[in-house]
Amino acid sequence: MAPAEYQNKTDEELARIVIDDANALVVLIRRYESRLLSYIRRISGSSHEDAEDILQEAFMDAYKNIARFDPSLKFSSWIYRIVHNRTISAYRKKKKEMGDFSMDDEDDGFKRMLSADDDTARLADMHLTAETVKKIMNELPERDRTVLVLAYMEEKTYDEISDILKAPPGTVATWIRRAKQKFVKCAEAVQPEIKSI
């Protein structure tokens, strides 16, 4: 069991401690496990069991590479990047076996996206169901799906997404804008009574 004092440490402090005491990793795993499982399922459509396998491998990668972590950066971006890379690798290897985009029915991440700016504000009136959002997300290319999930469901900043995907923030902003435009076009195709924005 991890020492009680580890509970009050920041993620970055714990990452430094892991080098000498693997118990600190237990605290980090508990902090991130459910969020990262959801992220894996959202971008890959993996089953819960496959997502758990991917996450376990990602945590092993993190443990092996923890000495390379720069504590001046955010641990959350670092661990998301490792999980992202593991997930995409698994997704590409087993693409035909992977399922569809996964989303909890109560997840309101896409409501935030639809009301985020003037370009997509009209779509907020479409009252898209979770099933419709899932269908649209399944039609989007991998990168578009990923940036939308990171920005609106995981609520990551452009800088955090930049760290996770290893792309400049300006490029991330462009990817998100284009992905939203594709989402809008797909939504309009699903519900054609909404006029083009």
Q: Say what the pLDDT of residue 125 is.
A: 55
Q: For 94-141, write each residue's pLDDT tens digit.
A: 664 445 555 554 555 565 565 555 555 555 556 677 778 888 888 888
Structural domain boundaries of the chain? 4-93, 109-190
Q: State residue 110's pLDDT score.
A: 60
With contact defined as beta carbons under 8 Å apart, do 149 and 110 qualify? no
- Calculate the CA dihedral of residues 145, 150, 153, 154 and round it to 10 degrees: 150
Question: Is residue 168's pLDDT more than 90?
Answer: yes
Count other C-beta atoms under 10 Å from residue 188's C-beta. 17
What is the C-alpha separation between 136 and 183, in angstroms, rounded?
A: 7
Q: What is the DSSP secondary structure assignment for residue 196, as one 8-state letter?
A: P
Confidence of residue 194 (pLDDT cuts 50, 70, 90): very low
- Tokens 């004092």: give the residue: 5
End-to-end CA distance of the chain: 55
Q: What is the pLDDT of residue 102?
A: 58
pTM: 0.72
Three-state DSSP state, 18: helix
Cα separation, 16 vs 179, in Å, equals 36
Per-residue model confidence (pLDDT) at position 98: 47
Q: Do domains 4-93 and 109-190 have the same CATH topology?
A: no
- Which pLDDT tens digit goes with each residue over 1-36? 557 789 899 999 999 999 999 889 999 999 999 999
Fold of 4-93: Rna Polymerase Sigma Factor; Chain: A (1.10.1740)
Instruction: Return the CATH number of the domain spanning residue range 109-190.
Output: 1.10.10.10
**CA atoms lying within 13 Å on the CB side of residue 1:** 4
